[in-house]
Amino acid sequence: MKSHIVVPALSQIKLTEPLFASYIEQVTKKLLPYQWEVLNDRVPGVKPSYCVSNFRIAAGLEQGPHRGVVFCDTDAYKWLETLAYCLECGRGRELLPAAEELIGLIAAAQEPDGYLQTYFTIDHPELKWKNLTEGHELYGAGHLMEAAVAFHRATGNETILQVAIRLADLICRVFGDGPERCQGYPGHQEVELGLVKLYRLTRIRRYLDLARHFLEIRGRRPNYLMQELARTGKDRIFPEFADYDEKYAQTHLPPAEQRTAEGHAVRAMYMYSAMADIALECEDEGLKNACLELWRNVTERRMYITGGIGSSGHLERFTTDYDLPNDRMYCESCASVGLMMFGQRMAALTGSAAYYDTVERALCNTVLAGVQDQGDRYFYVNPLEVWPENCLPSTSMAHVKPVRQRWFDVACCPANIGRTLASLGQYLYARDEKSLYVNQLISSSVTERIRGVGLRLEMQAELREAFRAEFLLELEGEGSVMLRVRIPAWLEGHSFVLDGQPIRPAVENGYAVLALSRPGQQHLVLTGQTKPRWVAANSRVRADQGRLALAFGPYVYCLEQTDNGDNLSQIYVRPDTSVTVAPGDPALPGNLPALRFTGLRLESGVEKLYGAPSFRLTEQQLCAIPYGLWCNREPGEMSVWLKALLPALDLLSSGD
Amino acid sequence: MKSHIVVPALSQIKLTEPLFASYIEQVTKKLLPYQWEVLNDRVPGVKPSYCVSNFRIAAGLEQGPHRGVVFCDTDAYKWLETLAYCLECGRGRELLPAAEELIGLIAAAQEPDGYLQTYFTIDHPELKWKNLTEGHELYGAGHLMEAAVAFHRATGNETILQVAIRLADLICRVFGDGPERCQGYPGHQEVELGLVKLYRLTRIRRYLDLARHFLEIRGRRPNYLMQELARTGKDRIFPEFADYDEKYAQTHLPPAEQRTAEGHAVRAMYMYSAMADIALECEDEGLKNACLELWRNVTERRMYITGGIGSSGHLERFTTDYDLPNDRMYCESCASVGLMMFGQRMAALTGSAAYYDTVERALCNTVLAGVQDQGDRYFYVNPLEVWPENCLPSTSMAHVKPVRQRWFDVACCPANIGRTLASLGQYLYARDEKSLYVNQLISSSVTERIRGVGLRLEMQAELREAFRAEFLLELEGEGSVMLRVRIPAWLEGHSFVLDGQPIRPAVENGYAVLALSRPGQQHLVLTGQTKPRWVAANSRVRADQGRLALAFGPYVYCLEQTDNGDNLSQIYVRPDTSVTVAPGDPALPGNLPALRFTGLRLESGVEKLYGAPSFRLTEQQLCAIPYGLWCNREPGEMSVWLKALLPALDLLSSGD
């Protein structure tokens, strides 16, 4: 039997690190109640979502047309999924009545044959499954399945599970091989992930088979989605997306043959995650190899230092290698959530810890940036450089918002961030038949039973220059368990001490491997160095040439106007600038430090628009904060990549 | 009687400067014949324009629907206008049969009441004048009037003039004050300019009055265009322009109250030009003051160093002060043509030479860049930094083309550049009751009769560091004439020698003023310095901080990949770098020099995507060419703003 790396039940994981704990606390305290009000169109000043209202209409409880975006049912599904994870962790029971009301509505909105998407049920029954490019029915189905599996696991609720199963069974009848079935596949991938989760819960093989089918049929000639678009012509759900092309929904090649990240970034991440799932479940080497190459292409050529992806502001998509502009791109919050999902699955598929360097990069920077510390304001787009004055509507910067928004017409991100925070434990720990994996050095605890041995682990870690993570380990029962502790890329010169004795565990696949067999408590300490560091980009990243970013541990730092004045484009920093780790602003959540250093501010000396320069540099004390926490105080400019001042180098090596 | 500054007849001006002469020669040799073939859909590989075909259909000579963009009639009008200027200068007679054929078609396509726009005549007669926002009927009318006036002046052709007059009279009946008339105004300004030209030719006052009316009614509440859009809803001619707002067509305020350049850059320039026309003709101080302020806003805060305007790639529009990104903007060729038009009119309105610094900037850089040296390839968008690999379709860079195109779906620019080159003389010389104005120091000659005195001027000028312009002046008849020679901003320390004697003419409004009264030949020499110069931008231009551009005379220079290798983002230059004026590449038209200097190339030393920098600078010999001539050789990267290396300054003034 093959070895599977899986996540312990979320109920067994408790996160105690102050920053993440505060965000997670807000999920039940603010994010879910707030989103529930938004989905019910009860928040003054927020444009109605119509989400719950559409379910009522589809259920026959109200009259009227469908309103809101075609896939806004998924906001409800992701809300339910988020709550499910909270419930599994013992929080949010006060929201159970709302959840049960919502589940009742969803069940009532489902048609007798299992069909479920309020847009088509209410207004366009004749178009069911006929606009897969834009209709998002399979996307909605996938989110329903994910929510149903999570909610069932957390509460035992059968209603929502049966809704999902009925819909899954309908999809199995409509799609698949054979001339009597639709030869289409999702315009927005997601159902594959839901089907795999439903399979893992129910062990009903046809769900897994259909997920695989959707990956295998994709990219075949003639191109199903392009043919469909040619049929629908200008009569589109999203007329502003007239630029659909084969790459947009990753249909340019069969997934197993894809080697570069193309098209819409969220669709890509969901598909690659599903490919990794299927590669694991079906031991499909072709899909696995594609996943390995796609991961490399994304993380080595098309990813921002913040773990953001999607370089084009238009169509939220990938562009080309090393094209990483800092102000106009998309870097959708959902895309970085998707990158975390993909990375987690790649780690499960390969057993390698390195994927968690990227998961952590996306989590600590872009995903964290996507939500206000209070949980009720969100970024959809996550630029690395913001000048609020040019974020103007009806321009090429219209998609970039200088402050987090209360909601969006297309509101995928708020709930996606919610479910990620609510289930954060899944990215911290994993297990297989003999090992417990510690994937993040973030204060938390976990209990697990492996090979009949009960294991409790409590980790205390704090991001400081002299890094130290303490583990309290408690074994119960006879036998041995392997403990695999990821050594993050940012940790230098790690060493372990077990009960006072230095030990040198082997490092395999990026994990320090310790065999534990002594019952009772043990005390493990991991130490190492993690100084603030200046980071540069590969010379082919044109947008970042001659620039430096500041990082500390997994966190990328940025300058904000509120700390450093406006016009951050004038700021220079010497590459050898020493950085002081200082107490963070108490106005920010958690206890991450601020980083202080001396930079320079350039004045061009040009009074008019253009003229002869009389450059003048003056020193300025600067203060950087974690990018993930930007815009939690006074709004203003923000910048990650600072200009490097390169004098000494010039003197040293000019003339080759 | 007020003094008017006007342009001599083009027939009296002859341009001899090698670069411009070569472009002008191509207008009749290649540009016009090529465009005629395109308008007739006879160029293999170029998507049909349907321009001439639509006239045939509207004239009843062919059957079928209207095809092509709604305003593609204007391509024919501008073609005719371009030919008219050539004919006036004694070139292009071989194209007269084509012109007469075209005029016959236009006349036949005109409806009995004078209406003329093939789109509405063929397919939507019920929508005439009902979609002013998008329909472009008044825009088309303006281009017809400009063409008719020019063609009539060049050839005496009455047919086209009468077509224009019939249409103008219809517009005078449809629009204007009074409840029985439509209270709308053009969605795309242009008719105002045509009406003024028609008035100046015919002296029929109602044309001038209507032009003024269109400026006075604009911006009134409720907003006519917004109301119209609300009526048409989603049923639009340009669904991709769903972001129309009040500023887009400069309807947010009455023109006389506008103070910042907003919205679509071409519409803005055409409107401001018309405002200057009306300010001059009607001595309207309100419009004049608005023009002065708008000119300042454009040229002191919203203009690229190349004279490009329109910072937003989406909707081709202005954004905000100092927002001048270098790679993703629009900088439409037509907008810079419009800036030349506006500048010329401001100079006529104020008598100030300074406006011609900007006219020259737009002409020598963006307008020249808009056309291939052979005249048959065009840029619509004129970025200052191009990396061909990221100019991808279906992304936010889709509008930026790394090479000039054979044609466009919306093909306003090719013919607009054509008519500008064909009538270039109008930007070189002007006259009023007593003076001849030399507005550009570009080799050429002019004859004019002022106060009964015949004046012939022949100018020889060459752009070299020791600048020298020689004028042969010949007066015939008794009396005195003032010669006003613009002293360009780029000329340092000018001095004059008249027939061997140094003279010190007064400088008024930027013109050196010489009184000429001696009949016969005189020889005037203007000398000065114009070294290649490094230019920086105002500190508020965030995109250009710490960057330097290289200029020589009115020409902005750029680096091209073909001379300097790829990845120009790695290039640095010291602010005190000396520049050598070297012979230009013979593969480029004209005899402008190349500029050579020693720069540095930075390697970040980062192997992966991000990592610890080990910066390394190596010297590299660089060669810059005029921006206006870029992409006339091997395609590749191009960059105007180079990174400044600031070491000495750091040592000198750090610490304030």
Query: Which pLDDT band holds residue B243 (cuts at 50, 70, 90)?
Result: confident
The Cα–Cα gap between B205 and A465 comes to 81
Task: Compute how many other C-beta atoms are within 10 angstroms of the C-beta atom of residue B470.
Answer: 16
Number of separate helices (H) and strands (E) present in chain A: 20, 23
The Cα–Cα gap between A578 and A558 comes to 16
- A contact residues 319-358, partner B, Cβ 8 Å cutoff: 319-321, 323, 325, 327-328
Task: Report which secondary-structure segment, H or E, holds B436.
Answer: strand B435-438
Task: Give the model's pLDDT for residue B170.
Answer: 98
Cβ contact B613–A540 (<8 Å): no
Which tokens is A19 given?
Answer: 């920053």
Q: What residue numbers bound the domain in which B66 lies?
A: 11-427
Nearest chain A CA: its distance from B573 CA (Å): 11
Nearest one of B596, B566, B455 to B517, comparing CA atoms:
B455
Residue B238 confidence (pLDDT) above 90: no
- Phi, psi of A496, deg, nearest 5: -115, 145
CA–chain centroid gap for A49, Å, is 23
The Cα–Cα gap between B3 and B432 comes to 7
Active-site choice (A331, A412, A558, A631): A412
Nearest one of B264, B249, B269, B250 to B317, comparing CA atoms:
B264
Cβ contact B539–A606 (<8 Å): yes
The Cα–Cα gap between B559 and B106 comes to 45
Cβ contact B323–A390 (<8 Å): yes
Nearest chain A CA: its distance from B136 CA (Å): 21
In a shared domain, residues B144 and B121: yes
Tell me the CATH number at A357. Answer: 1.50.10.10
- Phi, psi of B156, deg, nearest 5: 75, 5
The Cα–Cα gap between A410 and A116 comes to 19
Could you confirm whether B412 is annotated as catalytic?
yes
**C-alpha torsion sign, points B637, B640, B641, B643:** positive
Nearest one of B490, B486, B494 to B468, comparing CA atoms:
B494
Residue A643 makes CB contacts below 8 A (sequence gap 6+) with: A546, A547, A548, A569, A571, A572, A573, A602, B545, B546
Task: Give the model's pLDDT for residue B22.
Answer: 97
Q: Are A550 and A624 in contact (CB under 8 A)?
A: yes
Contacting residues of A for B621, CB less than 8 Å apart: none
Judge whether A656 lies within some domain: no
Judge whether A499 lies within some domain: yes
Residue A277 makes CB contacts below 8 A (sequence gap 6+) with: A192, A193, A196, A211, A345
Residue B543 makes CB contacts below 8 A (sequence gap 6+) with: A569, B323, B324, B325, B326, B537, B641
Looking at A529, A548, A581, the residue that finishes a domain is A529
In a shared domain, residues B313 and B456: no
In a shared domain, residues A254 and A365: yes
Nearest chain B CA: its distance from A237 CA (Å): 12
Q: Are A480 and A450 in contact (CB under 8 A)?
A: no
Task: Give the model's pLDDT for residue A653.
Answer: 46
CB-side neighbour CA atoms (13 Å) of B183:
14
Tell me the CATH number at B508. Answer: 2.60.40
Looking at B427, B453, B468, the residue that finishes a domain is B427
CA–chain centroid gap for A417, Å, is 7
DSSP 3-state of A4: coil
Q: Are strands A638-639 and A555-560 parallel, antiparallel or unpaired?
A: antiparallel
Q: For the residues of A497-534, what is the DSSP string, one character each? A: EETTEEE--EEETTEEEEEE---EEEEEEEEEE---EE
Match 């049912």 to its residue by tokens: A73
Which parts of A362-406 fold into alpha helices (H)? 368-369
In a shared domain, residues B84 and B150: yes
Q: Are B278 and B192 in contact (CB under 8 A)?
A: yes
In a shared domain, residues A227 and A374: yes
The Cα–Cα gap between B308 and B321 comes to 14
Contacting residues of A for B575, CB less than 8 Å apart: 613, 615
Nearest one of B417, B388, B420 to B402, comparing CA atoms:
B388
Could you confirm whether A316 is annotated as catalytic?
yes
Looking at B529, B544, B579, the residue that finishes a domain is B529
In a shared domain, residues A562 and A595: yes
Q: Which of B534, B536, B609 comes nearest A303 by C-beta?
A: B609
What angle, 0 to 180 degrees and rounded to 10, lies between the N-to-C axes of helices B51-58 and B73-88?
A: 110
Q: Is the peptide bond before B222 cis (omega within 30 degrees of 0)?
A: yes
Judge whether A594 lies within some domain: yes
Cβ contact B537–A609 (<8 Å): yes
- pLDDT tens for A445-491 read 999 999 999 999 999 999 999 999 999 999 999 999 999 999 999 99
CA dihedral angle for residue B214, residue B219, residue B222, residue B227, rounded to 10 degrees: 70
Q: Are A359 and A344 in contact (CB under 8 A)?
A: yes
Cβ contact A536–B610 (<8 Å): yes
Q: Count of domains in chain B?
A: 3
**C-alpha torsion sign, points A69, A71, A73, A78:** negative
Q: Is B569 on the interface with A (CB under 8 A)?
A: yes
Q: Are A554 and A627 in contact (CB under 8 A)?
A: no
Nearest one of B22, B13, B14 to B591, comparing CA atoms:
B22
Report how far apart the first and last C-alpha atoms of chain B are (Å, whole number). Answer: 59
Task: Give the model's pLDDT for residue B148.
Answer: 98
Match 């990026």 to its residue by tokens: A510
Cβ contact B650–A645 (<8 Å): yes
Judge whether A4 lies within some domain: no
In a shared domain, residues B512 and B618: no
**C-alpha torsion sign, points A393, A397, A398, A403:** negative
Judge whether A547 lies within some domain: yes
Residues A457-469 as b/e (b if ≥16 CB within 10 A, e otherwise) read: bbbebbbeeebeb
CA dihedral angle for residue B162, residue B164, residue B167, residue B172, rounded to 10 degrees: -100
Task: Give the model's pLDDT for residue B231.
Answer: 86
In a shared domain, residues A547 and A636: yes
Q: Are B647 and A647 in contact (CB under 8 A)?
A: yes
Task: Give the model's pLDDT for residue A243.
Answer: 78
Q: What is the DSSP letter of B94?
A: G
Mean pLDDT of B617-638: 98
Average pLDDT, 10 consecutive residues per value, chain A (656 residues): 82 97 97 98 96 98 97 98 98 98 98 98 96 96 98 98 98 96 97 98 98 97 94 76 88 98 98 98 98 98 98 96 98 98 98 98 98 97 98 96 96 96 98 97 98 96 96 96 98 97 98 96 98 98 98 98 98 96 97 97 97 96 98 98 78 43
Which amino acid does the sequence have at A493? G
Which tokens is B583 given?
Answer: 């012979």
Judge whether B3 lies within some domain: no
Nearest chain A CA: its distance from B326 CA (Å): 12
Contacting residues of A for B554, CB less than 8 Å apart: none
The Cα–Cα gap between B132 and B139 comes to 9
Judge whether A144 lies within some domain: yes
Task: Report which secondary-structure segment, H or E, holds A573.
Answer: strand A571-573
The residue count for chain B:
656
Task: Give the model's pLDDT for residue B2.
Answer: 56
**C-alpha torsion sign, points B211, B212, B215, B216:** negative
Which amino acid does the sequence have at A494? H
In the beta sheet, which residues pair with residue B484?
B437, B513
Residue B301 confidence (pLDDT) above 70: yes
Mean pLDDT of B83-103: 98
Task: Compute how many other C-beta atoms are within 10 angstroms of the C-beta atom of residue A393.
Answer: 10
ipTM of the complex: 0.97
- pLDDT tens for B143-200 read 999 999 999 999 999 999 999 999 999 999 999 999 999 999 999 999 999 999 999 9
In a shared domain, residues B412 and B523: no
In a shared domain, residues A21 and A35: yes
In a shared domain, residues A400 and A443: no
Task: Compute how many other C-beta atoms are within 10 angstroms of the C-beta atom of residue A146.
Answer: 26
Residue B239 confidence (pLDDT) above 90: no
Which tokens is B460 given?
Answer: 């020889």
Q: Is A540 on the interface with B (CB under 8 A)?
A: yes
In a shared domain, residues B497 and B604: no
CA angle B464, B469, B472 (to 5 degrees): 155
Q: Are A554 and A19 in contact (CB under 8 A)?
A: no
Judge whether B1 lies within some domain: no
Residue B293 confidence (pLDDT) above 60: yes
